[in-house]
Structure 1
């Protein structure tokens, strides 16, 4: 039976991946900070789908955390066939007014932990000539996002990094995909401390389950990049191609400016 490693697995898109992959008879390794939520999810998946679910409670914003995850996986004697780098968070507000510690932790989680896990497991996958890696970015990675400047920059990194790896590994037997969701039903806006005027506008948000289904379909087709959520999100990510960058970032600044 194949095994998937999912970071940020306790809620949202990560939990939706765990449920869908378990339903497809994959064992899962669940990584997140909340041990209680992970254990509850693992018990549910094992009971419902008769698979093995391993729990690794780990705060990936901390340097060295990825080594602890890898050590735990090696201790179990597991081979990772599918890596889903889903863990990440954002922040809202003028950069200079936000806590520097939170910005550094965001870079550590959204970029450093993702790069470390990708490097470690991609090396193993290439040796075997099989496997897949999914890195979760965002449509925010396609343009600068004032008042979420570090977040959008980290997601731009994930897009460029993953697309480059896809090109490097086309003939390796390893599939690599970057996924760029738009607004999705989750606790993202709460953690990022967006005003209620933003967080409450979720009537048109995609569900985590929709993002997962689109992702797995794109992975089967060996796409390099997936923008989920239909035409509206495709329009958003392609607008910067047709207008001066000053114009785009000025318009976005007005839209996201604190009221």
Structure 2
């Protein structure tokens, strides 16, 4: 992973779960890491750990990515204090598993603000200097839910559909500037994501044996940094289902009824 040595990797949602693991493995690979999340206490703990273990430069910035004015200020501050951003990992996001008719409108807006607007705005703040340098990498954490929507995840799936659409167009726009765009589409990961998404514990109980380890997903993400990787899809069997769904949606929905209702 010499290509990451002394490069700057920015990770949103870095205080826990997949984002934290991506930050750890980026630092282990020699990258300087910028940690972004709402919890400064958690970021400072992680910062100290990474500095002590790997001897890299680590910076922490408190930010709610849905706050446009704060987001612009923080990213300007990052460029001034840290320098160029080589890799931006848009990981911040959350989900709530409820039927559309039961969704609280404020929660719906919040999910769109964080999962979609926050990702787009963070990208907007990073790409100008990447284009100027003709180098860089945007990695957007999407989901298999962005490819196959299931009951009780209508809003969450919609946000991840948006991430995929945005990323696919962005990839075409940035190709001539040698800036890579990768989408990461994992199935369920064993993280604290489900403390909010699945308060009943039903989904976790039903899919526990299928859950991915965050270390496994992070390793895939870090290994693709600064390479022209279009997508990372995990697990393979779930992505095969997404491909089948794209070709035969009606048949897939009919055959998959039992599996879909896990929430």
Equivalent residues in 2 for 1:6-25, closer than 5 Å: 6-25=11-30
Sort the Cα spacing of 1:120 and 1:103 in 2 relative to 1 into closer, same or farther, 3 A: same
Residue aligning to 2:195: 190
Residue aligning to 2:147: 142
Residue aligning to 1:151: 156
Q: Which residue, out of 173, 190, 197, partners 1:168?
A: 173
Contact 1:163-1:225 at 8 Å conserved across structures: no
Residue aligning to 2:210: 204
Residue aligning to 2:118: 113
Residue aligning to 1:103: 108
**TM-score, normalised by the number of residues in structure 1:** 0.91
Question: Residue 177 of structure 2 aligns to a residue in which SS?
Answer: coil
Sort the Cα spacing of 1:254 and 1:81 in 2 relative to 1 into closer, same or farther, 3 A: closer
Sort the Cα spacing of 1:253 and 1:149 in 2 relative to 1 into closer, same or farther, 3 A: farther
Q: Distance in 2 between matches of 1:138 and 1:241?
A: 15
Structure 2 gaps of 5+ residues are 1-5
Contact 2:22-2:222 at 8 Å conserved across structures: no
Contact 1:176-1:219 at 8 Å conserved across structures: no
Contact 2:26-2:222 at 8 Å conserved across structures: no
**TM-score, normalised by the number of residues in structure 2:** 0.89
Q: Which residue, out of 4, 9, 12, partners 1:4?
A: 9
Sort the Cα spacing of 1:22 and 1:243 in 2 relative to 1 into closer, same or farther, 3 A: same
Count of aligned residue pairs for this structure pair: 257
Q: Distance in 2 between matches of 1:245 and 1:161?
A: 26
Structure 1 gaps of 5+ residues are none
Residue aligning to 2:3: none
**C-alpha offsets along residues 39-69 of structure 1, whole Å, 9 cap, x if unaligned?**
1000000111111111111122334332132
